[in-house]
Amino acid sequence: MAKITLPSRSRVAVHKFSSCDGCQLAFLNAGNDLLTLAERVQFVHFAEAGISAPIDTNVDIAFVEGSISTAEDETRIAVIRAHSRYLVAIGACATSGGVQALRNLGRGHDWLAEVYPNPDQIDSLDAACPVSDYVRVDLELWGCPVSERQLFAAIAALLGHVAPKEHNDALCMACKARGSVCVLVTRDEPCMGPLTRTGCGALCPDFGRACYGCFGPSRNANHLSWGARMREFGVTPESIVRRFHMINSGAQDCLDAGDTWRGFCHNPKIDGPSKS
């Protein structure tokens, strides 16, 4: 990302698209820190906080939560992009399509008839997609939900005129730095930390449970080797597919890994590829 310059009291918007509002809550959960932040920036639009300027209000930073899932979403994100100096996609929904992108794995609009009595009344695009599929995105903060730490670090970087740090390393790096006991090595837990990007602070391993990949794929992850290790623990290929096709199924790495392991399902003679 190129070096940036913002005015002293920046105008910030937090927009909601197809989402559960959990990433907006990461802002609100900041409590007193949010009040301090409000002295440095002016929130001109923030749906969850009841602040609602028109979407064509010019802002310095627009945070966008949620996937693009309807025709109205598609129109609205274009207007927001045109009026935002920097656009930051926050959370799994905005960066990969999120849980709702699971419908992309189905049979087009056929799934509507299986869920709704009057599917013709549902306004939805063929697929739930990340924001970057529709407009230019300056920064992506992954996670479900995104962490308060990530949000404030991004704002501090933007206000401090430096390029925000990207978190592409595997979670194991943060986990080891915290000194947490590895649940994969010591308890044969199917921890996705070796495949998942940092940003959460290694929350799950810190509490003695396996990471389930909510922060999305890390750089240079070896999905085949990880899956082969899981097979040694007795995890079925079907279960491996479900782990990839879960929160971030719309991310290409997760989609490809899940599709690869789907090829090993329902065939008891095939254990999957050997570790490499």
- Paired residues of 197 in beta bridges: 170
- Token digits for 212? 């389930």
**CA distances to 133, 248, 262 from 256, in Å:** 18, 12, 10
Closest approach, Cβ 121 to ligand SF4, in A, equals: 24
Q: Which CB, 12 or 170, lies closer to ligand SF4?
A: 170
Number of residues assigned to the chain: 276
| Nearest residue to ligand SF4, scored by beta-carbon proximity | 193
By beta-carbon proximity to ligand SF4, the closer residue of 44 and 172 is 172
- Cβ 234 to ligand SF4 shortest distance, Å: 17
Upstream peptide bond of 145 is cis (omega within 30 degrees of 0): yes
Binding footprint of ligand SF4 on the chain (CB under 6 A): 19-20, 22-23, 65-66, 91-93, 98-99, 144-145, 171-172, 175-176, 180, 182-184, 191, 193-194, 205, 211
Least separation in angstroms between residue 34's CB and ligand SF4 is 17
DSSP-assigned states of every residue in 123-162:
---SS-B-GGGTS--SEEE--TTPPHHHHHHHHHHHHTTS
Nearer to ligand SF4, 161 or 187 (CB): 187
Strand 10-16 with 41-46, pairing? parallel
Name the residue nearer to ligand SF4 (CB basis): 91 or 227: 91
Closest contact distance (angstroms) between CB of 216 and ligand SF4 is 10
